[in-house]
Structure 1
């Protein structure tokens, strides 16, 4: 994997931002537009996906970054859950829901793959530093 200099270089962060912008667009359409509590909760959960990726990256520590990636993945699930309720309540249209649900599942999978990569990287670095023993 190429060296990443900033969280803005991460594809998972870029995709999380794209999805959050889409959530903002949906939140500006009635009837969700006028359901302030649901609107705010949905937007908050959506932006926490990219925010947790950014925050975790900035600690410059893979173990901490992995923890924040788990939070980010959890937020993606939270957004899916909120959208499921909102579509059943008639606040979000079914087509938008299905599209976003699919995109959020893909993003969650990408985040999980990234977590697995970082964990294996950490394990390999630990093994390299352990003294040889018989």
Structure 2
């Protein structure tokens, strides 16, 4: 099995951008109503944080196959975050204009993650 030349996961652009996205989400949910603290707000924080957590965990496994698995999990969490943002618009906690700004950040992370997944697949 081929081992990955180990660099710190924090050097990965995809991890850096997913971290920025997660931090932006954290600031956003502060604007949600207090009654959503343990409902939608908690879910969106958890799913957004799961993206970079999965990238980091997979990176620590040292094999391309494991990294690929965790990056696919990260992509699922990213999609879940988009779903929660969409629900926030439906609940009128978020304007369409603000959603569009976050959607651009989402797309950036998605493109980087898909590129990284493609790279990892080429290695397995």
Judge same fold: TM > 0.5, yes or no: yes
Contiguous gaps of at least 5 residues in structure 1: 123-134
Q: Which of residues 51, 54, 66 is equivalent to 2:53?
A: 51
Q: How many residues align?
A: 119
1:125 is aligned to none
The alignment partner of 2:102 has SS state of helix
Deviations 1:89-117 (A, max 9, x none): 11122222111112212211211111111
Q: Which of residues 4, 12, 15 is equivalent to 1:13?
A: 15
Q: TM-score scaled by structure 1? A: 0.83
Higher RCO structure, 1 or 2 (CA under 8 Å, sep 6+): 2
Q: Which of residues 87, 91, 96 is equivalent to 1:85?
A: 87
Q: What is the distance in 2 between the residues matched to 1:65 and 1:30?
A: 34
Say if 2:50 and 2:74, in contact at 8 Å, map to a contact too. yes
Q: What is the distance in 1 between the residues matched to 2:93 and 2:82?
A: 14
Q: Which of residues 53, 59, 62 is equivalent to 1:60?
A: 62
1:132 is aligned to none
Q: Which of residues 106, 109, 113 is equivalent to 1:107?
A: 109
Say if 1:4 and 1:10, in contact at 8 Å, map to a contact too. no
What RMSD over aligned residues (CA atoms) do the two structures have, in Å? 1.4
Q: What is the distance in 2 between the residues matched to 1:95 and 1:20?
A: 19
Q: What is the distance in 2 between the residues matched to 1:72 and 1:86?
A: 21
Contiguous gaps of at least 5 residues in structure 2: none
Q: Which protein has the larger Cα radius of gyration, Structure 1 or Structure 2?
A: 1
Q: How far off is 1:4 after superposition?
A: 5.5
Q: TM-score scaled by structure 2? A: 0.89
